[in-house]
Amino acid sequence: MNENVGRRGFLKKSLGAALTVPVVMSLEERALVAQTPMVTAKTKPATRGSMPNGKIGNISISRLICGGNLISGFAHSRDLVYVAPLLRRYFTDEKIMETWALCEEHGINTMVASFSDPHAAVVYRQYVKRGGTIQYIAQIKADEDNLDAAVKKAADDGAVGAFLHGGISDAWVRDGKLPLIGMLLEIIKDHGLIAGVAGHELRTIQEIEKARFEPDFYVKTLHHSNYWSFGGPGEKPEVIRNRADNYWCRHPQETIDFMATVKRPWIAYKVLAAGAIRPRDGFQYVFANGADFALVGMFDFQIREDVELATAIIAKQQKRPRPWMA
């Protein structure tokens, strides 16, 4: 494709690709196609430009943010061994760019991804060359012996912000390496990016606040526990271990209560518990309980409905217990 093609032409061409449907389909596939709205170049989103934004630093960010796990072929799929290969087959380079284009069409201006996979960075650069403008916040897996490397890569790849991966943050806090987080935040800021920290464990956020570090934002898990496969407090250790792949906020009310005292923007993630919670329910829960943004992995055919749901829910949450911090 000509690199000078404008954003409108790029979007039309990308969305038009969704018209291609295999000639031979199983009964299950036909049923799925029948239930899924067809996305075409002529589709006019009812929500164009309506997704509300908030600001972190000087960066304006849509309150619904496109997650990166699915487009990277990664999913918390319990013990379903076929899901990761299926995702990698589905999310071709063109499908990834089509997904980002649909996000933009419906008012989502920001996505989160980890470009530790060099190929993902290549796809993003190609998308930008084609006229795409979606912003990129990097989830980084920093090496404690070389904190600058991952940050420099994120900046070179065009990120507007970066945050430390939640699994690493949790481990550093547990292992008494909290000062590394403070150092990393300063390095991120020195590269001109908004700087954040993610955490699955509430203790991670509590210890950072106690240390009086100055992150620009937090990325903290939040979802309720009212779904069938939740494994939480009081269950046997072996049960919790077996279910650890589909719950990420063991103590949601404690998270809500503590975050109400935190005067920094909060991006909630794992809000649908890896697909166990319906968007209407999950979005209502996180926005009503204080999150400023929701980071959500979305298939292309889910984007329009997710934006419509989130926009309607946010509009009703202007006077909530935790004030909007962004």
Name the amino acid, one letter, at 213. F
274 belongs to a structural domain: yes
Q: 268 by DSSP, 3-state: which?
A: strand
Quick check: is 104 in a domain? yes
For residues 152-175, give the mean pLDDT: 96
Mean pLDDT, residues 55-66: 98
> What is the C-alpha to C-alpha distance for residues 118 and 179, in angstroms, rounded to an integer?
29
Q: Is residue 14 part of a domain?
A: no
Instruction: Give residue 84's pLDDT.
Output: 84
- Per the structure, the count of domains in the chain is 1
**pLDDT value at position 245?**
56
Reported confidence tier of residue 232, pLDDT bands at 50, 70, 90: low
pLDDT of residue 5: 46
User: How open is the CA angle 7-12-15, to the nearest 5 degrees?
Assistant: 115
Provide the sign of the torsion angle of the four alpha carbons 150, 156, 159, 161, taken in this order.
Answer: positive
Residue type, 299: F
Q: Is 29 helix (H, G, I), strand (E, B) or coil?
A: helix
Query: What CATH number should be reported for the domain holding residue 90?
Result: 3.20.20.100
The answer to the question of residue 268 being in a domain is yes
Give the whole-angstrom CA distance, residue 279 versus residue 21: 27
CA distance 85 to 89: 6
Within a domain: residue 17?
Answer: no
Is residue 160 within 8 Å of 58, Cβ to Cβ? no
In a domain, 111, yes or no: yes
Greater confidence, 83 or 239? 83
Q: In the 8-state DSSP scheme, what is residue 302? A: G
Strands (E), 141-246: 161-164, 194-199, 217-221
**Per-residue model confidence as pLDDT tens digits over 1-54:** 444 445 555 555 554 444 343 333 443 334 433 444 433 333 343 345 579 999
Residue reference for tokens 């934006």: 307
> What are the residue ranges of helices labelled H in 17-163?
27-35, 83-90, 93-105, 118-129, 147-156
Ramachandran region of residue 213, left (φ > 0), alpha (ψ -120 to 50) or beta?
beta
Q: Print burial letters for 228-263: b (CB count within 10 Å at least 16), e (below 16).
A: eebbeeeeeeeeeeeeebbbbbbebeebbebbeebe
Distance of CA 285 to the CA centre of its chain: 16
Tell me whether residue 259 is in a domain: yes
Do the beta carbons of residue 223 and residue 285 sit within 8 Å? Answer: yes
Q: What's the whole-number mean pLDDT along residues 62-91?
A: 84
pLDDT digits (tens, 9 = 90+) for 187-221: 999 999 999 999 999 999 999 999 999 999 999 99
Interval 84-113 mean pLDDT: 94
Note whether residue 125 is domain-resident.
yes
Task: Please state which of the ranges 52-56, 85-89, 128-132, 185-189 shows the lowest mean pLDDT.
Answer: 85-89
Neighbours of 93 (CB within 10 A): 13
Identify the domain containing residue 141 by its residue range. Answer: 49-315
The pLDDT tens digits for 132-149 are: 999 999 999 999 999 999
Instruction: Summarize pLDDT for 250-307 with one digit per residue, the tens.
Output: 889 999 999 999 999 999 999 998 888 999 999 999 999 999 999 999 999 999 999 9
pLDDT at 230: 72
The average confidence (pLDDT) of the chain is 84
Residue length, the chain? 326
